[in-house]
Amino acid sequence: MNVLLTGGTGYIGSHTSVVLTELGHLVVLYDNLSNSSDLVLHKLAQITGQPIPFVKGDVRDAELLTETLAAYRIDAVIHFAGLKAVGESVEKPADYYANNVQGTISLLQAMRSVQVKTLVFSSSATVYGEPQYLPLDESHPTSATNPYGRSKLHIEEMLNDMAASDPAWRMACLRYFNPVGAHESGLIGENPNGVPNNLMPYIAQVAAGQRAELSVFGDDYPTADGTGVRDYIHVMDLAEGHAAALAFLSVTTGWHAINLGTGKGYSVLDMVQAFENASGQQVPYKIVARRAGDVAACYADPKKASEALNWRATRTLDDMCASTWRFQQSQRLSVKS
């Protein structure tokens, strides 16, 4: 199958491109490089042994998208492109609606114009809002607490309307829990600009000595050790989930929301301990106040993915930490050389 990956040079897109290429799909990456670098293309060629076609473009450019879909005879699109920082979305909501919602509208227009009707969308567990029960299954009510989350909800609803309007659409909204880790080669991984917002990249930078200590946001949650609990999922498991979603859509029409998580929750202190074990480094931390907007615990019911996609996460917490550390180390070496 020929598959276009919008946001394909980013963290999750680049890992997914490896999995799809290794399965024999022709993958084309489309990205405006606003939060990634084309240097990743060399790494992808190194891992897969072949060059991966890349088009530099914005998803709001429907014309270029249409040309790209036609030129590469694309059969399906995986739509990763978008902005994803919760705090920034509160400060710049218009940017989030423009990139995420407007970007998806131009993508849908371009796809419709060339009759490409298979779409996998990067959604998020953030669409469940404050959990009313755990684990979170796909029937849990949805809500949004910030513009980032609201943009994801709007897109999911828009895709649902499109699928209802034309039975030829095949759409999967994959609700990711907390993606972490890196490809086993250590060549690609998550490389956030500036101070990381998310836990795992922050821990990795503390272990590497780039930051003095981790601030643990609250130890008074109603969880086993008082710190926040999340469902961390290895990015390579997540990438394989996309391949499974494409296979599912090849035999199913309509709109589907599917969790991609492990079903297991780990606390912040579990993560610190696991990272220390995997890296052999100390991760000093201090307890500080809760972060506004955080929930105590959030983890998936992964049953639907297992039944519909025949997919489940198989990698362990140690795999997540060890691969993150390997990538962190390789980054340091490449900066020095």
CB-hemisphere CA count at 13 Å for 6?
A: 32
Among 197, 306, 330, 331, binds ligand UD1 (CB under 6 A): 197
Name the residue nearer to ligand NAD (CB basis): 259 or 267. 259
| Among 26-34, 200-208, 221-229, 288-296, the segment contacting ligand NAD (CB under 6 A) | 26-34
Residues 6+ apart with CB under 8 A from 173: 121, 123, 155, 156, 159, 255, 256, 257, 258
Tokens read off for 117: 């009707």
Among 82, 186, 228, 265, binds ligand UD1 (CB under 6 A): 228
Residue nearest to ligand NAD (CB): 10
> Count of H helices and E strands in the chain?
12, 14
80 contact choice in ligand NAD, ligand UD1, none (CB below 5 to 8 Å, kind-dependent): ligand NAD
Give the separation between CA 120 and CA 112, rounded to whole angstroms.
Answer: 15
Q: How far apart are CA 318 and CA 277, in angstroms?
A: 8
Q: Least distance (Å) from ligand UD1 to the CB of residue 216?
A: 4
35 lines the binding site for ligand UD1 (CB under 6 A): no
Catalytic annotation, pick one of 148, 221, 266, 299: 148
13 belongs to the binding site for ligand NAD (CB under 6 A): yes
> Is 31 near ligand NAD (CB under 6 A)?
yes
Per CB under 6 A, 301 contacts ligand NAD: no
- Residue 216 and residue 268: Cα distance in Å, rounded? 7
Contact 205, 328 (CB under 8 A): yes
Q: Where are the beta strands (DSSP E) in the chain?
A: 2-6, 26-31, 54-56, 76-79, 118-124, 170-176, 178-180, 214-217, 229-230, 232-234, 254-260, 266-267, 285-288, 297-298
CB of 82 to ligand NAD, least distance (A): 4
Residues 207-226: x where in contact with ligand UD1 by CB under 6 A, - otherwise, as a string: -------xxxx---------
268 binds ligand UD1 per the rule CB under 6 A: yes
Are 50 and 93 spatial neighbours (Cβ–Cβ below 8 Å)? no
| Residues from 121 through 180 that contact ligand NAD (CB under 6 A) | 122, 124, 176, 179
DSSP 6: E
**Residue 33 interacting entry, from ligand NAD, ligand UD1, none, C-beta within 5 to 8 Å by type:** ligand NAD
Active site residue 285: no
CB of 71 or CB of 168, closer to ligand NAD: 71
Residue 238 engages ligand UD1 in binding (rule: CB under 6 A): no
Binding to ligand UD1 by residue 86, rule CB under 6 A?
yes
Binding test (CB under 6 A) with ligand UD1, winner from 122, 124, 142, 259: 124
Instruction: Answer with the entry of ligand UD1, ligand NAD, none that 81 interacts with (C-beta below 5 to 8 A by kind).
Output: ligand NAD
Tokens 């059969």 -> residue: 75
Say whether residue 12 binds ligand NAD (CB under 6 A): yes
| DSSP state string for 68-135 | HHHHTT--EEEE--S---HHHHHH-HHHHIIIIIIHHHHHHHHHHHTT--EEEEEEEGGGG-S-SSSS
Active site residues: 148
